[in-house]
């Protein structure tokens, strides 16, 4: 199933074996000015995403036969396909949310949420409105960390880190405020947009942020197993230490 507007704002793939739900999301996205393409299983979506470079985002169900959503995400990332992925699922347990974010998804939204929530998330992610770095240009070096604001790439000791756009923005926030404690809420706003709350109160957004930080730290440690620049301030947030760089 496919719906297109004459001048689409972006092209979004919907991967869900629930045909009725996929049709509903397709209709709503089309009304909002987006072009869509739908896939009923992970295998067909993977094949298309490997060859179709005009898809700007994937809305992904978790529970699908043969290939689950998290398995599809793993295949995409293993192939170097860094297209933004939002899990759109009935699963609400934080274990699934953390696994999805650690797997490289940019968001995790329950299907029961109003479409306006999903639309806002799509606009923030595709529009690049989440990051305070969005207007920065050029290359900035802080010790062993190099941030290229034009390409949104980061290196550590000259090694490419492979950060997603959201991860890059989190690192920029921390590094630009080296020595200052950055709250969970402030980091969460970089990820999800100011005022958004997807998890269960404070516990929910802290779990969400911890998942992102864990993934970011791992990418730095893959480049340098002695990396220790990101410190945790228990119950508050994180701090970047230049002296650890």
> Could you say which residues of the chain have pLDDT below 70?
1-7, 92-94, 128-136, 191-204, 243-245
- Same-domain check for residues 98 and 171: no
Q: Residue 211 burial (CB < 10 Å; 0-12/13-18/19+)?
A: buried
* Count of Cβ atoms closer than 10 Å to residue 200 Cβ: 12
Q: Domain span at residue 19?
A: 2-127
Report the distance separating Cα 11 and Cα 105, nearest Å.
18
Q: Does residue 133 fall inside a structural domain?
A: no
pLDDT tens digit string along 108-149? Answer: 888 888 898 888 888 877 775 444 455 567 899 989 999 998
- Same-domain check for residues 13 and 89: yes
Domain count, the chain: 2
- Same-domain check for residues 20 and 115: yes
Residue that has been written with the tokens 């739900």 in this structure: 21
Q: DSSP label at 181?
A: P
> Rg (Cα) of the chain, in Å, rounded?
18
Report the distance separating Cα 36 and Cα 3, nearest Å.
5
- Same-domain check for residues 156 and 212: yes
Q: Among 68, 103, 127, which residue terminates a domain?
A: 127
Check which CATH number belongs to the domain holding 51 and give it: 3.40.50.2300
Q: Does residue 41 fall inside a structural domain?
A: yes
pTM value surpassing 0.75: no
Dihedral sign (CA 182, 167, 61, 11) = positive
């Amino acid at each position: 199933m496919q719906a297109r507007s004459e001048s689409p704002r972006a092209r979004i793939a919907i991967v869900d074996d629930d045909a009725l739900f996929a049709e509903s999301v397709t209709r709503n996205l089309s009304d909002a000015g987006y072009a869509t393409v739908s896939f009923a299983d992970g295998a067909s979506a993977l094949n298309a995403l490997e060859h179709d470079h005009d898809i700007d985002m994937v809305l992904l169900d978790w529970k699908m036969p043969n290939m689950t959503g998290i398995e599809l995400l793993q295949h995409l990332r293993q192939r170097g396909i860094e297209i933004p992925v939002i899990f759109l699922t009935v699963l609400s347990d934080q274990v699934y949310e953390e696994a999805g974010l650690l797997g490289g998804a940019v968001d995790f939204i329950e299907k029961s949420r109003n479409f306006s929530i999903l639309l806002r998330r799509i606009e923030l992610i595709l529009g690049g409105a989440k990051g305070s770095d969005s207007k920065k240009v050029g290359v900035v070096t802080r010790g062993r960390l190099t941030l290229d604001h034009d390409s949104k790439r980061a290196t550590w000791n000259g090694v490419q880190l492979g950060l997603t756009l959201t991860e890059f923005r989190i690192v920029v926030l921390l590094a630009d405020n080296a020595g200052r404690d950055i709250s969970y809420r402030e980091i969460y706003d970089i990820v999800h947009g100011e005022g958004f709350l997807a998890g269960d109160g404070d516990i929910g957004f802290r779990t969400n942020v911890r998942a992102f930080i864990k993934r970011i730290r791992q990418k730095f440690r893959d480049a340098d197993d002695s990396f220790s620049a990101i410190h945790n301030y228990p119950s508050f947030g994180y701090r970047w230490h230049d002296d650890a760089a």
